């Protein structure tokens, strides 16, 4: 009988069939041994860059070619993970006194302040373009600006008249209003200050609740506190509920940073020259992200319907973190300095304006935004057709 074993032993008589079996077993053993040695070698190499990548890629290529789905326009359209539409946009508009007035803002090329009659035309234009909401900011006449910003509580102020005019003419469009005192104070701060120039939280909050209420009474659909006082969302919510404005929403400027990108806005509302000092005791430090999570958590707990991150592009990481953590509607404010930067880049020939506008707006959708406040809203809506 032939020996059964892995090795061929010469001298022993072997019949053909067992011989083949023996050979087969022997070759198998050699093959398995070599494979194991190769696998060990491969693992060894795989631990070291750049071999790791070469081995990983060659394992899938050419079966996987990501360029296949990018190779034609129809396929790119089919595979797009995010979409930007005019319905994603909120258009901030600056209101000024007078009639048939348009005042271009030098630091915001292409953006103007409009008198109420002309603002109504902008609201109609927005509606026609499929933009669902406009945001209003008043350029209060300087003679009405005081230390306490009391013009903010005048139910017949520029803001309230603009709200009523828009809601009368274009009732289908949403009107978002800014809740903060900076367009009404003689010192340009968002609240009431003490002798040292410190913005007083609780006294300011009392004014903001009244301000939100008169805006709601004038017809505002969303009130958006941009002041960063602690506790103001809860106080505003309670005031709106008591006033039977149960469906007036609050979009909280939850993570608003003390940013260098607000300059042109302050020109637009006429507060840049007035502002004493900075806003660092109430707006957030650009170094902080964890703190933004706390701000958002508090505003949601106090009754915010949606939250905003501001500015936009330099804070895409915050947008993403807020969206992932809270799973609530998040809006970005692509602020005045960001707008001006894109315009300046385009004017300098650094990039195509339309492409820059659409790419930056898409980045907000990709980061997780429900919508974006942008001065490019009408232009972008036209591009999106």
Residues lying near ligand PBG in the complex (CB under 6 A) are found at: 178, 180, 182, 190, 226-227, 262, 265-266, 279, 335-336
**Nearer to ligand PBG among residue 149 and residue 368 (C-beta):** 149
Does the annotation mark 256 as catalytic?
Answer: yes
Q: Is the bond leading into 310 cis (omega within 30 degrees of zero)?
A: no
**Nearer to ligand PBG among residue 149 and residue 234 (C-beta):** 149
**Nearer to ligand PBG among residue 126 and residue 333 (C-beta):** 333
256 token code pair = 């608003």
Catalytic residue among 167, 279, 310, 365: 310
| CB of 138 vs ligand PBG, minimal distance in Å | 11
Alpha-carbon distance 247 to 306, whole Å? Answer: 13
| CB of 50 vs ligand PBG, minimal distance in Å | 45
| CB of 212 vs ligand PBG, minimal distance in Å | 13
**Nearer to ligand PBG among residue 22 and residue 360 (C-beta):** 360
- CA-wise closest residue to 229 among 211, 196, 204: 204
Catalytic residue among 37, 124, 143, 256: 256
Q: Which residues contact 47 (CB under 8 A, 6 or more apart)?
A: none
**Residue number of the CB atom closest to ligand PBG:** 265
| CB of 322 vs ligand PBG, minimal distance in Å | 18
For 132-143, letters b (16+ CB in 10 Å) and e give bbbbbbbbbeee
| CB of 190 vs ligand PBG, minimal distance in Å | 5
DSSP string, 218-268: HT-SEEEE-S--TTHHHHHHHHHHHTT-TT-EEEEEEEEB--GGGHHHHHH
CA 55 centroid distance within chain: 39
**Nearer to ligand PBG among residue 239 and residue 336 (C-beta):** 336
Active site residues: 256, 310
């Amino acid at each position: 009988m032939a020996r059964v074993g892995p090795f061929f032993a010469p001298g022993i008589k072997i019949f053909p069939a067992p011989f083949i079996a023996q050979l087969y077993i022997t070759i198998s053993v050699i093959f398995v041994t070599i494979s194991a040695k190769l696998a060990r070698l491969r693992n060894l190499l795989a631990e070291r860059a750049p071999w790791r990548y070469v081995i990983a890629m060659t394992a899938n290529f050419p079966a996987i070619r990501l360029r296949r789905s990018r190779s034609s326009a129809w396929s790119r359209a089919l595979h797009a993970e995010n979409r930007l539409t005019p319905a994603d946009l909120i258009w901030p508009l600056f209101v000024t006194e007078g009639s048939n007035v348009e005042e271009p803002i030098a630091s915001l090329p292409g953006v103007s302040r409009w008198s109420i009659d002309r603002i109504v035309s902008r609201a109609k234009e927005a509606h026609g373009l499929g933009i669902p909401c406009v945001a209003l900011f008043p350029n209060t006449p300087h003679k009405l600006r005081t230390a306490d910003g009391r013009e903010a509580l005048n139910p017949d102020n520029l803001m309230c008249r603009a709200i009523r005019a828009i809601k009368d003419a274009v009732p289908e469009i949403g009107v978002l209003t800014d809740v903060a005192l900076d367009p009404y104070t003689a010192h340009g701060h968002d609240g009431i200050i003490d002798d040292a120039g410190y913005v007083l939280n609780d006294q300011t909050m009392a004014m903001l609740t009244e301000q939100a209420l008169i805006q709601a009474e004038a017809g505002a659909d969303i009130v958006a506190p941009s002041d960063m006082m602690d506790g103001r969302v809860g106080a505003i919510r309670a005031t709106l509920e008591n006033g039977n404005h149960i469906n007036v929403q609050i979009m909280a400027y939850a993570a608003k940073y003390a940013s260098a990108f607000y300059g042109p806005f302050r020109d637009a509302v006429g507060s840049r020259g007035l502002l004493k000092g900075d806003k660092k005791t109430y707006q957030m430090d650009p170094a902080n992200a964890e703190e933004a999570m706390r701000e958002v958590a508090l505003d949601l707990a106090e009754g915010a319907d949606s939250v905003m991150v501001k500015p936009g592009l330099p804070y895409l990481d915050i947008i993403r973190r807020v969206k992932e953590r809270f799973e609530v509607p998040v809006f970005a404010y692509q602020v005045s300095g960001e707008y001006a930067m894109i315009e300046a880049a385009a004017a300098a020939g650094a990039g195509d304006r339309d492409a820059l506008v659409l790419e930056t707006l898409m980045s907000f959708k990709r980061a997780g935004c429900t919508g974006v406040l942008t001065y490019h809203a009408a232009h972008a809506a036209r591009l999106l057709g």
